[in-house]
Homo-oligomer: A and B are copies of this chain.
Amino acid sequence: MVDNPLPFTDTVAALPAAVPFVGPETLQRRRGAPFRARLGANESAFGVSPKAEAAMREAAADVAWYGDAESWELKQALAEAHGVPTEAIVIGAGIDGLLGVLVRAIVEPGTPVVTSHGAYPTFNYHVNGHGGRLEFVPYRDDREDWRGLAARAEAVSAPLVYFSNPDNPMGTWWPAAEVQQLIAAIPEGRILVLDEAYCDFAPPEALPPIDVTDRRVVRMRTFSKAHGMAGARIAYAITHPEIVTAFNKIRNHFEVNRMAQAGALASFHDAAFIRRVVEEVERGRQDYYATAARLGLKAIPSATNFVAIDMGRDGDYARAILSALQEDGVFIRMPGVAPLDRCIRVSVGRPEERAILDQALEAAIARVG
């Protein structure tokens, strides 16, 4: 490459300089003013457990020490609660980080990887970043089409399949029995990532029993959503110990922040706090359903901490609504591809933020016309 004297791999040289998400701080800098409601990143509006906050504040005094590379205490607590050996758990700096490690372990240039068209962009970012070939299966009735995913994975011999339950960005979900049928359709020697970032908000019947003797499934859970610790960057995968070994061969062993480890452990033990958050989120979903109904729109029933609202027209219209909301100081996001992009996606805020959304959405509709 004569005109680009840099020694990057063909894969990296060919990548666009795109990011999976433009962050709200970046958007605020562009518009020159802060948002009055931050409802776009599915962060928790109900903060972190006071016990977790206290644990993090205490840990700040010891931040000169690297965090435990094994996150042993947290891993033990999680293992006990999930009824699995500690060897079946790996802690990472968020599901984004764990997805990156798993993709790197499996995907080489040209490797086929199956996901839903419009599902989590950061997974796609990692696959593209390793030169993988994404095979997209359309949503069906606003749900990830597990039958379609299984069929496409079989057809292209994909070693890696992504499925989130509950789903982001639509908020829909499948009962455990269907998820288990998807797992059953994955042949030995291939891996299904079951992204359960939103599982705390889902009905229990969405979650199949955990079976870490199954080498075909990697389940991912996070402290970023119900636990209100997105900024701490801590999550975990539950899977067969042989797959954990692969993570340990390439992951950044000291990457998990010491305060995050302390906070996550405290939060995990504060079940009462999480229960209250989940109840608040349920109230928030109801508010958004009511807003949609009031404005003659259809909200898609959600099992997450956000609601997709069908704006009833095409993607250009929904994008115009999103822009109008941002200009009005309300940060939301929306699905990236048709037909999902007829919707906007609104994270559950505090009651006052929900009231802002209710008014701002009505105004945006009037303004966009």
Contact = CB atoms under 8 A, between A and B. Distances in A.
Nearest to A100: B252
Contacts of A59: 231
A263 interface: yes
A245 B13 CA distance: 10
Interface in A211-247: 215, 224, 228-233, 242-243, 245-246
Given A249-B17, A255-B233, A60 B61 contact: no
Given A5-B188, A252-B96, A23 B66 contact: yes
Interface string A89-103: 000011011001000
Interface stretch (A39-47, A141-149, A173-181, A337-345): A39-47
B7 A190 contact: yes
Contact of A106 (B8, B29, B191, B230): B8
Nearest to A47: B64
B56 A23 contact: no
A155 interface: no
Interface string A65-102: 11111101000000000000000000001101100100
Nearest to A5: B189
Interface string A1-22: 0000111110010011111111
Contacts of A255: 93-94, 96-97, 233
Contact of A249 (B53, B129, B253): B129
A64 B259 contact: no
B68 A23 contact: yes
Interface residues of A, number: 85
A66 B230 contact: yes
A275 interface: no
A172 B258 CA distance: 30
Question: Could you say how many copies of this chain the assembly holds?
Answer: 2
A60 B228 CA distance: 11
A124 interface: no
Contacts of A43: 64-66
A138 interface: no
Contacts of A8: 105-106, 246
A272 interface: no
Contacts of A63: 48, 53, 56, 228-232, 263
A250 interface: yes
Contact of A7 (B23, B191, B250, B252): B191
Nearest to A44: B64
Interface in A305-321: none
A233 B105 CA distance: 23
Contacts of A97: 252, 255
A248 interface: yes
Contact of A231 (B44, B62, B246): B62
B47 A61 contact: yes
A26 B70 contact: yes
18 contacts: A5-B189, A7-B106, A8-B106, A12-B249, A25-B70, A38-B65, A43-B64, A44-B64, A45-B64, A56-B60, A60-B259, A64-B231, A93-B93, A94-B254, A231-B258, A257-B257, A257-B259, A257-B260
Given A41-B66, A63-B231, 19 more contacts: A9-B106, A9-B107, A12-B249, A15-B249, A15-B250, A21-B69, A26-B69, A43-B64, A47-B61, A56-B60, A56-B259, A63-B230, A64-B229, A67-B231, A67-B233, A97-B255, A232-B257, A257-B260, A259-B259
